[in-house]
Amino acid sequence: MTSRRKLLGFGLTGFGGLVAGRAGAAGEFPPEPERAPGLPVLSPAYGQPSPRVAAIQRKSWSNPPLEQASSLTPLGDLYGALTPNGLFYERHHSGVPDIDPERHRLVIHGAVRRPVAFSLEDLLRLPSVSRLHFLECTGNSGSELVKPTRETVQGTHGLLSCAEWTGVPLSILLDEAGLLPSGKWLLAEGADAGRMTRSVPIEKALDDAIVAYGQNGEPLRPEQGFPMRLFLPGWGGNLSVKWLRRLKVAAEPFYTREETSKYTDLMADGSARIFTWAMDAKSVITRPSGGQTLGGGPGPYQISGVAWSGRGRITTVEISTDGGQSWRKAPLQEPVLSKCLTRFSLPWEWSGGPAILQSRAIDETGYRQPTREALIAARGAHGAYHNNSIQSWRVDPSGKVTNIHA
Amino acid sequence: MPKRLLLLLPLLLSACDAATPAPPARLGHAVTEQEIAAWNIDVSPGNGGLPPGRGTVAEGRKVYANACAACHGEKGDDGPAPKLRGGRGSLASAKPLTTVGSYWPYAETLFDYVRRAMPFDRPGSLSDDQVYAVTAYLLRINDILAEDAELDATRLPRIRMPNRDGFVPDPRDASHL
């Protein structure tokens, strides 16, 4: 029962959980190690997290229709830059298909000299790359633009994850098919029930697009597109079509449902931006963050979080503990990679008084993460997409951390 | 031109084709457009793709009642799934309603999406005639088509959706916000 309570406590107040060890060090010592041998190897054959951290889970915040279903990464409980595959956020429009990799094919046709079907085995015989990139849903933080809605960073920013993606550069596959000069756009289509489709301009396809079959060293998870997906670094997650089965090359964009009715940005004047692909620079403090508690009282802490940009490398992250009145640069953890999560961490001496924690990122294009007010002034408040504004967490004197708009 | 040379012309043309051969097949399995016809289902304003077939508003009303109303409601805006009608003139208001009628720029997109992804629990189960018909019906309940309208591959692309000019390119490369 005690361990069960501790386990839940870690999930709910992760920050406080870490501090509990410090309080213990003043008095009681940890128990002696066990004197009997522990479990054998293969317990189980595919390793799982300690049952003591079993509360670290993806969450779905509501029970939406399957077409609108998503689950969120527990950013407040994670370290470093990479997301474990089992905690990678999900967004599906027709559920997760169960695909036999031996029967799956990727067809490339349309404006090519040689329409061709690739099996997974074919892809494995072609040159591969492995690259570390974040994936963020265009709607991430959309709930937070007008008022603070979600309690935790999992809720406010959890449609964000990061992995090493292994696959074949799309340029190689298009070369195999013999791209014709009239080919300016691709239609990427999935093998899910709703056959998800998005248009991709040929420039992106030939730049850094990957047909990925690997994620953090193992085959893609079913919910991430097994056996193969498109991966478009730095662009809104919906464009990286999962369960990829068809790429049609054509002269014009396809104006699919997902790039007209959805994933367009409605402005205050009633116009809507279309083809808003890149995810702009953004950052968020994950520790301390909403729902956590600075349980150890005043004293030294680390303010830590992640920063990313769909347009390149993060160059600077600044942190404020006074609601944006003053800012300090936070050291960035190496490696700092393009279109990848970058971890930052800054020592902070908490006085025990109220504080408002914020972070803001700058990327190598000179782009500076905006305030909410600046976004709303430019676009209005309707947009559920591309909210990359500065997040505020309030620390109250009890150490409790909450989501606020400063 | 001597008659003999005219007869040779097709051969000469095919010889030109042969002079720029497809790259040698190395990996993957070459396919023909005929072989993948069943996969080649996309319909779009710029690249075409509408299949043979036809459907009327009246036929679409029945298709809708059987296949769509359970999720989208009897009237198209009274079910748990996204609203399909209404919202005209609301996009610049405090409470914009984005529907087929108020927001979607192209009728081809509606045909394409219904054919590939709807009904949600059994996508692909409607015939092309039924997709034409329910497309016509959805445009009817948005006052875009008349009650006696019929759609086919010729008529559907002529429809001008109310929000056709409502979309603007992404300015963020230059403006940041």
Q: What is the pLDDT of residue A27?
A: 57
Q: What is the pLDDT of residue A254?
A: 98
d(CA B63, CA B140): 14
Domain that holds residue A126: 85-273
Among A198-202, A208-212, A227-231, B16-20, which is the least confidently predicted range? Answer: B16-20
The predicted model gives B49-58 an average pLDDT of 98
Residue A109 lies in a domain: yes
Domain ranges of chain B: 54-166
Confidence of residue B14 (pLDDT cuts 50, 70, 90): very low
Q: Which residue of B has its CA nearest to A65?
A: B81
d(CA A314, CA A321): 21
d(CA A147, CA A156): 11
Alpha carbon A150 to chain centroid, angstroms: 17
Average pLDDT for chain A: 93
Are residues A198 and A215 located together in one domain of the fold? yes
- Partner residue opposite A117 with nearest CB, options B23, B31, B71: B31
Is the pLDDT reported for residue A365 higher than 80?
A: yes
Q: What is the pLDDT of residue A31?
A: 81
d(CA A386, CA A361): 15
Confidence of residue A68 (pLDDT cuts 50, 70, 90): confident
Contact of A10 with A18, CB cutoff 8 Å: no
Number of A:B CB contacts under 8 A?
173
Q: What is the pLDDT of residues A9-50, one digit of tens each?
A: 333 344 434 433 344 444 577 888 888 999 999 999 999 999
Domain boundary among A218, A253, A273: A273
Give the Cβ contact number of residue A162 at 10 Å. 26
Domain boundary among A273, A293, A328: A273
d(CA A233, CA A207): 10
Q: Identify the bridge partners of residue A307 per DSSP, sorted by sequence position.
A: A283, A342
Residue A2 lies in a domain: no
Q: How many domains is chain A built from?
A: 2
Contact of B90 with B164, CB cutoff 8 Å: no
Is the pLDDT reported for residue B26 higher than 80?
A: no
Q: Is A70 helix (H, G, I), strand (E, B) or coil?
A: strand
d(CA B58, CA B68): 15
Q: What is the pLDDT of residue B25?
A: 52
Are residues A96 and A229 located together in one domain of the fold? yes
Is the pLDDT reported for residue A274 higher than 80?
A: yes
Which of B108, B168, B173 would best serve as a mutation to test chain A binding (most A beta carbons within 10 A)? B168
Q: Which residue, among A248, A182, A371, A270, has the nearest Cα to B40 in the 3D structure?
A: A248
A113/B106 Cβ within 8 A: no
Is the pLDDT reported for residue A1 higher than 90?
A: no
Is the pLDDT reported for residue B112 higher than 60?
A: yes
Are residues A268 and A287 located together in one domain of the fold? no
Q: Which residue, among A285, A280, A267, has the nearest Cα to A345 in the 3D structure?
A: A285
Q: What is the pLDDT of residue B124?
A: 94
Is the pLDDT reported for residue B174 higher than 50?
A: yes
- Partner residue opposite B103 with nearest CB, options A67, A261, A368: A261
Q: What is the pLDDT of residues A194-219, one digit of tens each?
A: 999 999 999 999 999 999 999 999 99
Are residues A189 and A309 located together in one domain of the fold? no
Are residues A160 and A254 located together in one domain of the fold? yes
Residue A320 lies in a domain: yes
A195/B41 Cβ within 8 A: yes
Q: What is the pLDDT of residue A84?
A: 98
Contact of A289 with A150, CB cutoff 8 Å: no
Q: What is the pLDDT of residues A150-168, one digit of tens each?
A: 999 999 999 999 999 999 9
Is the pLDDT reported for residue A266 higher than 50?
A: yes
Measure in Å the smallest separation between the Cα of A221 and chain B Cα atoms: 23
Is the pLDDT reported for residue B7 higher than 60?
A: no
Measure in Å the smallest separation between the Cα of B56 and chain A Cα atoms: 23
Are residues A212 and A289 located together in one domain of the fold? no
Amino acid at B119: P
Q: What is the pLDDT of residues B114-132, one digit of tens each?
A: 999 999 999 999 999 999 9
Alpha carbon A353 to chain centroid, angstroms: 32
Is the pLDDT reported for residue B34 higher than 50?
A: yes
Query: The domain spanning residue A293 has which CATH number?
Result: 2.60.40.650
Measure in Å the smallest separation between the Cα of A347 and chain B Cα atoms: 31
Domain boundary among A238, A273, A308: A273
**Reported pTM:** 0.91
Are residues A297 and A263 located together in one domain of the fold? no
Q: Which residue of B has its CA nearest to A266?
A: B91
Burial grade of B1 (CB within 10 A; 0-12, 13-18, 19 or more): exposed
The predicted model gives A73-100 an average pLDDT of 97
Measure in Å the smallest separation between the Cα of B147 and chain A Cα atoms: 25
Q: What is the pLDDT of residue A384?
A: 86
Q: What is the pLDDT of residues B70-84, one digit of tens each?
A: 999 999 999 999 999
Which residues of chain A does B30 touch, with a Cβ-Cβ cutoff of 8 Å? Answer: 114-117
Q: What is the pLDDT of residues A296-326, one digit of tens each?
A: 999 999 999 999 999 999 999 999 999 999 9
d(CA B105, CA A260): 7
Residue A202 lies in a domain: yes
Are residues A107 and A231 located together in one domain of the fold? yes
Q: Angle at Cα B163 formed by Cα B162 and Cα B167, nearest 5°?
A: 160
Residue A196 lies in a domain: yes
Residue A325 lies in a domain: yes
Q: Which residue, among B90, B123, B84, B115, has the nearest Cα to A192 in the 3D structure?
A: B123
Residues 6+ apart with CB under 8 A from B124: B115, B116
Are residues A345 and A204 located together in one domain of the fold? no
Of residues A62 and A371, more confidence is placed in A371
- Partner residue opposite A109 with nearest CB, options B36, B117, B171: B36
Query: The domain spanning residue A170 has which CATH number?
Result: 3.90.420.10
Token couple for A328: 């300090």
Give the Cβ contact number of residue B24 at 10 Å. 6
Residue A61 lies in a domain: no
* Predicted complex ipTM: 0.91
Token couple for B165: 């000019």
> How many residues comprise chain A?
406
Contact of B43 with B111, CB cutoff 8 Å: yes
A253/B42 Cβ within 8 A: no
Confidence of residue B2 (pLDDT cuts 50, 70, 90): very low
Measure in Å the smallest separation between the Cα of A159 and chain B Cα atoms: 21
Are residues A191 and A297 located together in one domain of the fold? no
Which residues of chain B does A125 touch, with a Cβ-Cβ cutoff of 8 Å? Answer: 27
Residue A24 lies in a domain: no
Is the pLDDT reported for residue A140 higher than 70?
A: yes
CATH topology of domain B54-166: Cytochrome Bc1 Complex; Chain D, domain 2 (1.10.760)
